[in-house]
Amino acid sequence: MDSLLKQFSQSSQLGANAAYIEDLYEQYLVSPDSVSPTWKAYFDGFKGREAGDVPHSAAIESIVAAGKRAAHAQPAAAAGTGDERERGIGKLITAYRSRGHLGANLDPLGLLEKPDAPDLALGFHRLSQSDLGAEFSTGGVAGKQRMKLGDLLALLKATYTGPIGAEFMHITDAEQRRWVYERLETAGGNFGHSDQTKRRILERLTAADGLERYLGTKYVGQKRFSLEGADALIPLLDTTIRRAGEQGVQDMVVGMAHRGRLNVLVNTLGKPAQHLFDEFEGKFEHIHSDLAHTGDVKYHLGFSADVATPGGPVHLALAFNPSHLEIVNPVVAGSVRSRQNRRGDQGRSQVLPVLMHGDAAFAGQGVVMELLQMSQARGFAVGGTLHIVINNQVGFTTSERQDARSTLYCTDVAKMVGAPVLHVNGDDPEAVVFCAQLALDFRQRFGKDVVIDLVCYRRHGHNEADEPAATQPLMYQVIRKHKAPRELYAEQLKSEGTLDADDIKAMVDAYRDKLDAGEVTTEVVEVKPDEFNVDWSGFLEGKLGDPVDTTFDRARLDELAIAINDVPDEIKLHARVAKIYQDRRKMAAGEQAGDWGFAENLAYATLVSEGYKLRLVGQDSGRGTFFHRHAILHDQVADAPYVPLRELVENPTDVTIIDSLLSEEAVMGFEYGYSTADPMTLDIWEAQFGDFANGAQVVIDQFLSSGEAKWGRLCGLALLLPHGYEGQGPEHSSARLERFLQLCALDNMMVCVPTTPAQAYHMIRRQMHMATRKPLVVMTPKSLLRHKLAVSSLDELALGGFQELIPDTNADIKKVKRVVVCSGKVYYDLLEETRKQEQEDVALVRVEQLYPFPREALAAELKRFGAARDVVWCQEEPQNQGAWYQIRHHLSWCLQSKQSLHYAGRLRSPSPAAGHFSDHVAEQKQLIADALVNPLRGEHHTE
């Protein structure tokens, strides 16, 4: 054996042989006698064998180590071959577990071509029909150590090639693999449902079918994105909810796109049927206020209710969703994480996320992959998500796999995180319910994602006005002749004697009567609000214009400044970080003016000390992309993190600072979802550079800016977007300020460009102390983080407040001929130039909040300098970008009678900034001169 081990341990051969070793080990686990005595003896010697199999990685590592210990090659012992058929049995079992899904009966329409799977045939493993009566070792299949081959084969076929095609052998964790195959093989295709369960399945199918028929008759041709063909979704959800309630789940947050949404609202969440009918007739429940609550179409709307289960009520919340299909996924996950934290649900078993997907979207939308990659990350884990793919095999109009994806299944992306995938025939509701039970139990047991691929069809087009036969003629010839799932299952129950025709008709009539009465069609209950419910009432009436007190007791501020900058001696910091904290201690003592990082961390400290929580997420948020924050310190000896802000709280999760994975869309969506579920947490998403927010534009457009208008959903998420022209090229200069301003209307959010540490401090505190919750978009600085003029005193932090506009208090009113209005870093460039030139005829006014725009404050400032004839808006961005076109009407409104408005900045450009530093410097010099001293040119307005 030593020589064999030595051979396999050679680095040049290990890569080629690792797969062989893994297969051999897997075969051994299935049937120990099927491998050669040499290998069997070796595998038997693994420590812990009695407690279960050893992970593959450990097997290979052990072989490598043993090979290295072998000093000299020894002649290999003659390997006894044993019964060749025993070896074949082990391989046959492994083949069915690994590839049985290829032979499964998944397509209700019978149109799906099954891939070749020759290894599922006896002959492939040197077995034959003549061996069917012989008994072999099975390694414990279905709890039996030995079986006749005929019985074993029948069991394997029933388990793996029936209506369920299970993929789980890609899972690296041996315990999880074993759990799945033991559960499947114990059932062996016999799902063991009681008559009571079967009746409930039919009742739920009757509800699913009945609602669609009712709507199709009453509202002919109206869009409803019918569930017909995927009716089994309703009993699947019913089983999941009831079983979850039995297992202690208190909350379920559900996300889904259009397909079947109305059915789920009525038949799962218990939305009164009459409310849905009213919506079909154009009667929506609007939120009455002076804001833009414009509502949304009915198949985007969410809902929440408490549903009765055998284990007690479960609160269900269906998330609102735009047409961007999968974008709701991270929003749901973020809401779940927030609810889990609020409940103290450390095991993440009390709040369950359920996401329903379309087949084309699951395969095609990148946010699916991003969220899967986040599923086990410590800042975003939710204990596993139950994914249900409503696989109608068409998508929109594309049923050709070669056009829809490059993988065999639409669910293959889930394999990358080791999620088991259960493909199931949607016309077999008993198999569907079994998959629901198995999937939920797996999630609760292992805390990982699991996928149910509900293979079904779509009876109508993408919507009810569409004609699907135009692009899928053969498929729809079959569909039109195909009986509905309810009819098929009713016939099955009638033939087996579970129900008779009168029972079945009574179910149909009873459901129709409920619809005629406009009643609730599921078991909704009323429960008293519990301690974990969030009371949003205190944030519903507040306005952005309401005054906000952000002052803080100076003595307490001094204490906090000392506390968060006092690093224990045993933590050895990097020299550069140690210098930063040394300076911060001087700032805390009042010996040195406070810089940006000092003030920002102190703002967080004050909020945490007042009982708020902090969640700061970004790709470099711990230290800050520009090395300024250092809210997480890293011991250079132990390589252990230390978070000074956590010293202020008892529960470490109250201060969560996470360096996120390199995702924008999913992470920002997650934080949006989190913040909509918790108004008492300051939730911040920070871009590495501001332009990275481009990758999350869907979240910004569909949720952040419009969620309140469409759905009445308040959200206090803050975006920190580094922005400023320092010659870093087109991408890392601009956070695309113009795009955010374009989305602003009717006080839907705030857009700020603070220029001092005190401004940043009070802006952060204002976000939590204001009387409502609105998104905050901040153009944060880069070079200003260490600018010698961008500093603030402790008194400014303790006693001041956020100034939407900072006037020029140093300018001599009698001398000023020109008022330059600006935002951001360019102010300091203008200031330094005026000082350099000793220019006294210019006043510099900073607009620190671009939306809502401080009209009255600016008008008052321009009136103060009423003798000045020229008002200049100066910006670093190109003229067609930045704030100019979005605020020009505000600037014009503020002008006094004899004042004219001019523009100073870069010329129009399709690119945000010049690519060469020398060009940048020339442009910057020019725009500063245009603003301060040059004859005014460019756009001129006298309105």
The answer to whether residue 48 scores a pLDDT higher than 50 is no
Q: 297 falls in which pLDDT band (50, 70, 90)?
A: low
Selection from 455, 448, 456 nearest residue 170 by Cα = 448
Distances in Å between the Cα of 660 and the Cα atoms of 341, 378, 670, 682, 701 are 18, 9, 11, 17, 22
Q: What are phi and psi of 357, to 5 degrees?
A: -125, 160
pLDDT 10s digits, 542-575: 999 999 999 999 999 999 999 999 999 999 999 9
End-to-end CA gap in the chain: 93
pLDDT at 50: 41
pLDDT 10s digits, 775-797: 999 999 999 999 999 999 999 99
pLDDT 10s digits, 411-424: 999 999 999 999 99
281 residue type, one letter: E
**Which tokens belong to 817?**
């001929």
pLDDT at 537: 86
pLDDT 10s digits, 881-890: 999 999 999 9
Q: Give ∠ CA 646-648-651 in degrees, rounded to 5.
A: 60
The answer to whether residue 741 scores a pLDDT higher than 90 is yes
> Distance between CA atoms of 440 and 447, rounded to whole angstroms?
10
> Distance between CA atoms of 158 and 431, rounded to whole angstroms?
12
> Distance between CA atoms of 392 and 396, rounded to whole angstroms?
10
pLDDT at 28: 75
The answer to whether 786 and 627 have CB atoms below 8 angstroms apart is no
Q: 387 falls in which pLDDT band (50, 70, 90)?
A: very high
Q: 766 falls in which pLDDT band (50, 70, 90)?
A: very high
pLDDT 10s digits, 422-451: 999 999 999 999 999 999 999 999 999 999
pLDDT 10s digits, 525-535: 888 777 778 88
The answer to whether residue 189 scores a pLDDT higher than 70 is yes
Q: 397 falls in which pLDDT band (50, 70, 90)?
A: confident
What percent of the chain clears pLDDT 90, i.e. is strictly above it? 77
pTM of the entire predicted model: 0.90
Contacts of 313 (CB under 8 A, 6+ apart): 245, 306, 307, 525, 527
Q: 14 falls in which pLDDT band (50, 70, 90)?
A: very low
Q: 51 falls in which pLDDT band (50, 70, 90)?
A: very low
872 residue type, one letter: V
Q: Collapse the DSSP code of 849 into the 3-class scheme (helix H, G, I; strand E, B; otherwise coil) and give the result.
A: strand
pLDDT at 78: 35
Tell me the mean pLDDT in the region 75-97.
Answer: 73
The answer to whether 694 and 701 have CB atoms below 8 angstroms apart is no
Selection from 240, 271, 270 nearest residue 387 by Cα = 240
E strands, 392-473, are: 421-425, 450-455
Q: What b/e string do you get for 498-529 counting C-beta neighbours within 10 Å, with b at 16 or more?
A: bbeeeebeebbeebeebbeeeebbbebeeeee
> Distance between CA atoms of 764 and 629, rounded to whole angstroms?
14
pLDDT at 13: 45
pLDDT at 80: 38
The answer to whether 248 and 311 have CB atoms below 8 angstroms apart is yes
The answer to whether residue 634 scores a pLDDT higher than 90 is yes
Average pLDDT for the chain: 90
CA 642 from chain centre, in angstroms, equals: 27
Q: 8 falls in which pLDDT band (50, 70, 90)?
A: low
The answer to whether residue 73 scores a pLDDT higher than 70 is no
Q: 2 falls in which pLDDT band (50, 70, 90)?
A: low
Q: 39 falls in which pLDDT band (50, 70, 90)?
A: confident
Q: What are phi and psi of 806, to 5 degrees?
A: -105, 115
The answer to whether residue 943 scores a pLDDT higher than 50 is no
Q: 56 falls in which pLDDT band (50, 70, 90)?
A: low
Contacts of 179 (CB under 8 A, 6+ apart): 442, 445, 446
